[in-house]
Structure 1
Amino acid sequence: MNQRVGRSSIRLAQPVCVIAGAAIVGKKEGEGPLGALFDMVGEDDLFGCKTWEEAESNLQKDAVYMVMEKAGWKAEDVSYLFAGDLLGQCIATSFGISAYNIPLFGVYGACSTCGEALTLGAVMAAGGYAEHVVCVTSSHFASAEKEFRFPLDYGNQRPLSASWTVTGSGAFALGLNQKCRAHITGMTPGRIVDYGLKDSMNMGACMAPAAADTIERHLEDFHVQPQEYDRIITGDLGSVGQTVLIDLLREKGIDIAGRHMDCGIEIFDADAQDTHAGGSGCGCSAVTLAAYILPMLESGEWKKVLFLPTGALLSKTSFNEGKSVPGIAHAVVLESPAVK
């Protein structure tokens, strides 16, 4: 029987298999340090479409097709889709994957959406309610700038604390008792944490308190220490948020500095690519998980990681009304199938 662990975590009695992952990214991401690892890199960030939003929808559609192909599934084999993006009412998702005609759970956790989708998809599979599940998220630099900041034609100057929204989509096939690239064995869902910060150009600092909260609760619930993980991997904090996270946890007597990794730092070369604090967006942690983290687990080089996408829960309405930027972070325990 699956277990509630501690105050707010879940341990899966039967691990859920991450059967396959797929990562499609834009040109800038393909020029970064992980460029050779992605399944597909677009030559044009419009991906042959007329609008940025349509391009993002195409990213999701293609990522889902690719992960189903890797898993050996057809659309009719998939029980449920768990999907989301950053745009108003998740329009990248609804227009991107509607043609598959698969029952959909639309999820929104800002940049933490990948962690939320994997959590819900794994619980559904572990509970016996779904044989095959696909989880997918996406983001696009240009559509996100238009949604949350300024149109690209405006040419506004970005502060050094700002992050660069990743153009990309990551998709994952989940199921039970199948060939695994990694096992999902537990999760600690995030809760909303708001320190009152209002700077939408410093989302790393806004999200770091939520990451610290989830990590602290996870370690307490599972009665584990940070050194039991090869890596504790946040999604989108960037260089500024990483510093804040490490400092916040040290104040609580928790030291993760030697094993912390952030997808937003890994995906870009901050000096050569002028991305300032690093990457962000729903696609950031998703494509890094599919392209980089899963192979490390599959090979056994990493035995166990805590995957922790982070999200800033703001909208243009809340920002224009002077509201703060709350954060959330969903943690998923991933273990190598090579470990007996």
Structure 2
Amino acid sequence: MSADRLPTRDGVLRAAAKIAEILPPTPLLPLEIEGQRLWAKAETLQPVGAFKIRGAWHRLSDLTDEEHARGVVAVSSGNHAQGVAWAAKRLGIAAAIVMPRDAPKVKLEATRALGAEIVLYDRPGEDREEVAAREVAQRGAVLVHAFADPWVIEGQGSAGIEIAAQMGREPSRIVVCCGGGGLSAGLALACPEAAIVPVEPVGWDMVGRSLAAGEIVRAGPDAPKTICDALQPAASAPVNLAVLQGRSDPGVTVTDDEVRAAQRFAFARLKLVVEPGGAAALAAVLAGKVSVDEYTVVMLTGGNCDPETFTETISSV
């Protein structure tokens, strides 16, 4: 196995077949916004509350026996952590997850409950990739990157295979909550005829800026705070940009207030709990920042919210 290989559509199809053996498809829900019907893919209803279970399962279930014995290390603010922990528990693999101390309590507790070891780091202050590299070296483990791993990208793309099957055709566009670009790249491979629209928090649009610049752009030390904890990696990666270049419509960003409005909308209209990072794509559509039609799909990517924070959000106006 080589983590340097490029992800492929054949890999996405293989991942989709593997995932279909253990998980039912998540619902594709009809949605109406200002008179226009479109669709919402409810990845919030996955067993770990987020789409990350897809890439984690594809990656870990493809490990060799030797790699299986070495265990895995992952870096995550919570959703990838739970996906890796879930897959590792099911496959009998030791997992250590590098997580920020300020990650939502619900994500920390859920990852521990799945049996993974948590290695905490300070955000800001410590480089999470350096912490992960140290853990990999000390343990001799396999790194399962949250978005820059070809297996992870292919696994995330399995959502696009489900969407096309549920619609009976490829969507015209997919509006995607975007952190490092793993899901966006996977969907681009899964649905080659669809426009891919990554949506990022204001000040954290590293994928959009990198696509515009044609090279990796890193977040600066003055990057603003965002409630979208799942969408703030310091930079994307070459493998993600290689897939997305020429396929996506970069530059769509959303504010915290727009994200909160989307969380309230999803709760009121779809009866779904959606975390801030999981509501970014819907926020862009509600704010009129993305054009939509009857074959547009909006990804609702995660629903792991601290109860107190979510209650506060849906109670405010």
Name the structure with the higher strand share. Answer: 1
Provide the TM-score with structure 1 as the length reference. 0.32
Name the structure with the higher helix share. Answer: 2
Bigger relative contact order, structure 1 or 2 (CA pairs below 8 A, ≥6 apart): 1
Provide the TM-score with structure 2 as the length reference. 0.34
